[in-house]
Amino acid sequence: MTNQQSILPFLACPETGGPLVQEGNELKNEYGTAYKIEGGIPRLLTPSKTEEEEKVRQKMQAFYETVTFPGYDGIDSPSVLMDKAKKSGFGRWLDEAISPMATVMEVGCGTGQMTNFLGLVSTRKLIGVDQSIPSLTLGEKFRSQFELKNVSFVQGNIFALPVKPNSVDVLICSGVLHHTPDPYGGYKELLKRVKPGGYIVIGLYNTYARIPLGMRKCVFRCTGNVFRKLDAHMRRKDVDQSKKEIWFADQYRNPHESWHSVDETLKWFDDTGVEFVSGVPDIGGMAKSETPQVQKLFAAHPRGTPAQHIAKQLGWMFTIGREGGLFVLTGRKK
Ligand SMILES: C[S@@+](CC[C@H](N)C(=O)[O-])C[C@H]1O[C@@H](n2cnc3c(N)ncnc32)[C@H](O)[C@@H]1O
């Protein structure tokens, strides 16, 4: 069975929502409309529904076709990928939290490093979705080189997601929704695909933590990037120069981004029947038996109060703010 055949039960036509069947190198919907499979990647990208959304989507597609994020330089084997993901803390905690039998989808997977990393557990099923073919091609190259038979990549749009409702146990979307014109609308599209009782993991730029970066962006704009070393990431000795360039473009030259607070995201959860489970960094205190080094992402955590959240987020300016100010909330669909 090819990779595409094994994920067919999860895929849906992006235009009709109906089932897809494979005929040679194409997937066909119930009316015979064909979508190509090229380079091992089903091409299921269709436009967003509104003109405004489509305009931003196209701009972002063009940007991420040049800036393939995150960079693969220096990652030449599963063990190097594993070391990198584990060093980040978040990757390790996610891997520990997700069941070895789970179906996991990463939307906006970029070059698919997280998708491939989580797919190193061969009993899991992993599907990475993104609209950028150059990014997906890098993920697919790694996948096929190391024969990760349980991992597949699909080209698709969050706002016309080619995935059946209630089909995945875990949905991850980190660093993506804030690059769309309607982050809450995108979140609701993602949530539809999560099984009841499943988890949704959302990473967003934080309104407070990103303030220092916003200020640096103004400085760089006025000085033609002369003071790039003001950015802590650009001073790091443990990151390749080419990866730094990709990171710099993603952070400082991105054509579209929005910032979000903890309470805004919790309201998304509350309004859509999602129970808050955990935050990275934590938003209301650790769960029992946790330490800053060992976090249990799918264990119930204290939610904290709005006042505590403001205090925490102000503090994030000096912690996660140094690396872009991304925070992650995990919720459970009731
Ligand atoms: C900053 S990258 C994040 C990559 C990865 N999630 C990570 O954390 O390293 C954002 C990704 O979102 C994708 N993206 C943006 N808008 C999208 C849309 N409407 N549908 C699908 N992917 C989208 C881009 O192509 C890009 O690869």
Q: Which of 177, 206, 181 is nearest to 190 (CA)?
A: 177
48: tokens are: 């967003």
Q: Which of 195, 187, 172, 185 is nearest to 330 (CA)?
A: 172
Nearest CA, atom 11, ligand 1: 108
Q: Which of 41, 64, 90, 189 to mutate to test the pocket of ligand 1 (most atoms within 8 A of CB)?
A: 64
Ligand 1 pocket check for 325: Cβ under 6 Å: no
Where along the chain do its domains lie?
A: 40-205, 211-252
Residues of the chain with pLDDT under 50: none
Q: pLDDT tens-digit profile of 72-126?
A: 777 889 999 998 887 888 999 999 999 999 999 999 999 999 999 999 999 999 9
**In whole angstroms, what is the distance from residue 6 CA to residue 45 CA?**
19
Among the atoms of ligand 1, which is closest to the Cα of residue 70? 9
Q: 83 C-alpha to center of ligand 1: Å?
A: 23
Nearest CA, atom 3, ligand 1: 175
189: tokens are: 């599209």
Beta carbons of 196 and 166 less than 8 angstroms apart? yes
Ligand 1 pocket check for 130: Cβ under 6 Å: yes
Angle at 218 between CA 51 and CA 243, to 5 degrees: 80
Beta carbons of 45 and 37 less than 8 angstroms apart? no
Bridge partners, residue 210, by sequence: none
Q: pLDDT tens-digit profile of 212-245?
A: 999 988 888 888 777 788 888 888 888 888 888 8
Instruction: Determine the pLDDT at residue 294.
Output: 84
Q: 79 C-alpha to center of ligand 1: Å?
A: 25
The CATH number corresponding to 40-205 among 3.40.50.150, 1.10.1060.10, 3.10.450.200, 2.40.30.10 equals: 3.40.50.150
Cβ neighbours for 208, distance < 8 A, ≥ 6 positions apart: 261, 310, 313, 314, 316, 317, 325
Beta carbons of 132 and 139 less than 8 angstroms apart? no
Taking phi first (over 0 means left), then psi (-120 to 50 degrees means alpha), and beta for anything else, what does residue 272 get? alpha
* Residue 168 DSSP SS3: strand
Residue carrying the six token digits 């909330």: 329
Ligand 1 pocket check for 176: Cβ under 6 Å: yes
